Amino acid sequence: MTRKQRRLTMISGSLAVLAIAAALVLNAMRDSIVFFSTPTMAAEKHIPAGKRFRLGGLVQPGSLVKGDNLAVNFSIADGSATLPVAYKGILPDLFREGQGVVAEGALDASGVFKADTVLAKHDETYMPKDVADALKKQGHWKDDYAKPGAQAQGTPQGGTTK
């Protein structure tokens, strides 16, 4: 084998090992990726119980029920569908009914979303881009969401950020 052939063999072997390592890393990360879904998307996809995902939408007015030991139940809606959520922990300070939230967790066998993380919007003009896009797509977006200081009844203030 000539010197050029040995060098080519070493380079191709190194590239093969690198490709296998990259494939293994990407395969391992695939299980930990959590996608954003609205209640309508969750119903359409028939997400199985126990599969983790992010659920986003608006907290339904009148649905917030606080229980013992920091247990909280509420519903998240996107205008077309509503999904009940159970959470145990301290809610963000900005969490309230009619506000945009993103919860991370999984559905249980009875169809209740068991959240282990709840995120609320952080200021008067912010709404997660995915939530705003989903509302626009479903025809529930109002132009006054984008105007700071404007508030429609039972809906969040704010628009999208860059």
Q: How far apart are CA 160 and CA 151, in angstroms?
A: 15
pLDDT at 19 > cutoff 60: yes
Per-residue confidence (pLDDT) for residue 159, from 0 to 100? 43
Tell me how far apart the 2 most distant CA atoms of the chain are, in Å: 79
Q: What percent of the chain has pLDDT over 70?
A: 78
Pick 57 or 130 by higher pLDDT: 57
pLDDT at 13 > cutoff 90: yes
Per-residue confidence (pLDDT) for residue 90, from 0 to 100? 92
For the entire predicted model, the pTM comes to: 0.59
Determine the average pLDDT of the residues in 42-71: 89
Using pLDDT thresholds of 50, 70 and 90, give the confidence band for residue 135: confident
Question: Taking the CA of residue 84 as centre, how many other CA atoms within 13 Å lie in the half-sphere pointing to its CB?
Answer: 10
Per-residue confidence (pLDDT) for residue 41, from 0 to 100? 87
Mapped onto helix, strand or coil, the DSSP state of residue 144 is helix
Report the alpha-carbon angle 70-87-89, nearest 5.
40
pLDDT at 94 > cutoff 70: yes
What type of residue sits at position 162?
A: K
